Structure 1
Amino acid sequence: MSDAPLLEVRDLTKIFPVRHAGKRKELRALDGVSLDLHRGETLGLVGESGCGKSTLARSLLMLETPDSGSVRFDGVDPTTTKGADLLAFRRRVQMVFQDPFASLNARMSAGDIVSEPWRTHTGLHKTSRDRAARMSELLDLVGLRSSDAGKYPQEFSGGQRQRLGIARALALEPDVIVCDEPVSALDLSVQAQVLNLLNDLQQQLGVAYLFISHDLSVVRHVADRVVVMYLGRIIEQGETESTFERPQHPYTGALLSAAPSLDHERRREQIILSGEIPSPLDPPSGCRFRTRCWKATDVCATALPPLAVDPVDGGHTAECFHPLGSQEQELASSQAG
């Protein structure tokens, strides 16, 4: 993994104007998000629905324009690029979607689906012979057959359709692939096959993944580092093993303690969160998580928490006034294991 980040995000903010109960309000989907993604790395992104994961992904793909903050991709700010430069950026950042059927055009054959990106990005594989040869290579690369090129999406299984989606994402030889819940719609046995495929492709091609998932066991299996989001903010991030073994933020600890476990005695010791997730239209002051946190005190309502640093791993940090103690960390990590 290179020391210099391929993708640098600093203090990214995205606000959507909405009308609620007849009043104009602001939905702060992203609120000061900062992260790095290195070449050849898998960065796991976790959090409950509505925390801002999809908005962050769309902002990194330049499908949403951030309101403030900066994004630098390979040293260039894609938010200021237009025309051919923006097209060149989008070639280097691709996406694999959650639903392998809805994301594919049912009226197009597998070969046409893989080849379609070359109609827009005309600099790659200019001749029909080159395109046909590369299409066959890509199908083979993801575990399909070149003879499958004439089939339509409905003729494939779910796992095969997701392989086809991965082949399409690889067609433009990207540096980064955003994987949005790429295995959540698949059976468990098929999930493992697709995850192994993604890992093999990363080892072979050096592509980096931003891997979005609700499944903590999947994230632990695939990610080098983990980012935890809550109500538009990154509240914890660090190396995967450090985050799973020594969670610092109470929210991360609660997520890990709720993960499936074969040890039913320990499973009953799950950290139970009280209260509902606050509305992103009216988030709590100070720490966003304080209204559900069993460790919250008056100071948690007054300001954004400082960064708590894992004493073992200085690169593992959490936004928290009252980070978890060793017993709470042990409880959480025992469930995630």
Structure 2
Amino acid sequence: MSEQLLTVRDLRKSFRVPGAGKKRLGALDGINLDLARGETLGLVGESGCGKSTLARTLMMLERPDSGTVRFDGIDPYTLRGKELLTFRRRVQMVFQDPYASLNARMSAGEIIAEPWRTHRSLYANRRDRDMRVRGLLDLVGLGAKAADKYPQEFSGGQRQRIGIARALALNPDVIICDEPVSALDLSVQAQVLNLLNELQQQLQISYIFISHDLSVVRHVADRVAVMYLGRIVEHGGTEPVFDRANHPYTAALMSAAPKLDAAQRRERILLRGEVPSPLNPPSGCRFRTRCWRATDVCATAPPPAAVDPLAAGHSAECYHPMQSEDANAVTMSA
């Protein structure tokens, strides 16, 4: 069994909105997730569902309203001073836009070395720092000579490699990848994804991989969590979630994903209506106002987990899971 690295339970985060009175925008509503060492967790969902807020909270850029986060058994929100500084290096981020995330006035070597201005204990002297920069550039496939070049001299894919090298500079345990290949051409996407996979195998890094592209998530993720309006509505191993979607929202997402193989194509599920406002979410199941399977019970209370006995760890928050037509396919748990 893989070593559990990150555990999140009942995480909640809301924001005050000017002009909304006492109402608060609920960005995260009872998030539960786990991440093992060396594992990739794919995080998918529509824009505004809370993916970026979850990433910012795990990066400790936002403080949760309630819930627990345990990183290697430690509650990071209780740390102060040097302990907090030491912890912060363990979770790094690769950003979506490789053009906006790099300082055009700094060379590639300076960009990669910038985190060491804060974490000086990670290198002995300037010569050691320069050697580490060259080593990281070699590791991401750019070569040591790239250290003296500036971002505008690189392609988009090369810039993203610099961003990855910068994230690796602090020897992190977890890297949060926020749409890291969405701005790249398809051929370049494959190169960057293969690089991330090679680095994971070599360094045993864990990834939280945020993406709208389901084909990319299926390629890179070991497990998938599907978010809708601040909640994780379905999670499990990548193949069970993609092949046996239990939540109607997940099924709709999968039906919209393009398929090259005609045999794998599904009938398109068109969702009705708009995503409800997080300021005034529906009672009970938050997806019920757009769900073609919804009944009166869906408005009464948040649904329990529907556990798929055919796939360990695969469950969905739904009163009427998609696989329920199959005899004994789904059992409900409180």
Task: Flag whether TM exceeds 0.5 (same fold).
Answer: yes
In 2, Cα distance between equivalents of 1:297 and 1:84: 53
Match of 1:100, as an amino acid? Answer: P
CA distance 1:326–1:258, change in 2 (3 Å): farther
| Aligned equivalent of 2:8 | 9
CA distance 1:268–1:45, change in 2 (3 Å): closer
Contact 1:19 1:25 in 2 (8 A): no
Contact 2:113 2:169 in 1 (8 A): yes
CA distance 1:104–1:327, change in 2 (3 Å): farther
Match of 2:18, as an amino acid? Answer: R
**1:269 shift after superposition:** 2.1
Residues 275-301 of structure 1: CA deviation (Å, up to 9, x unaligned): 111111111000000000000000000
- Given candidates 203, 206, 211, the residue that maps to 1:205 is 203
**1:272 shift after superposition:** 1.0
Between Structure 1 and Structure 2, how many residues are aligned?
Answer: 326
**1:309 shift after superposition:** 0.6
Unpaired runs of 5+ residues, structure 1, are: 329-337
TM-score if structure 1 supplies the norm length? 0.94
In 2, Cα distance between equivalents of 1:112 and 1:296: 55
Question: Which residues in structure 2 correspond to 1:48-197 (within 5 Å)?
Answer: 48-197=46-195
Residues 254-279 of structure 1: CA deviation (Å, up to 9, x unaligned): 00011012356985820111111111
**1:19 shift after superposition:** 2.4
Question: Which residues in structure 2 correspond to 1:301-312 (within 5 Å)?
Answer: 301-312=299-310
Unpaired runs of 5+ residues, structure 2, are: 327-334
In 2, Cα distance between equivalents of 1:120 and 1:255: 42
Q: State the SS of the aligned residue for 1:23.
A: coil
**1:84 shift after superposition:** 1.1
**1:126 shift after superposition:** 2.1
- Given candidates 216, 236, 239, the residue that maps to 2:237 is 239
In 1, Cα distance between equivalents of 2:241 and 2:230: 19
Residues 21-73 of structure 1: CA deviation (Å, up to 9, x unaligned): x6342001000001000000000000000000000000001000000000010
In 1, Cα distance between equivalents of 2:38 and 2:320: 34
Contact 2:167 2:175 in 1 (8 A): yes
In 2, Cα distance between equivalents of 1:111 and 1:175: 22
TM-score if structure 2 supplies the norm length? 0.95
Moved over 4 A (4+): 263-268
Q: State the SS of the aligned residue for 2:251.
A: helix
Match of 1:65, as an amino acid? Answer: R
Residues 155-175 of structure 1: CA deviation (Å, up to 9, x unaligned): 100000000000000000000
**1:246 shift after superposition:** 0.6
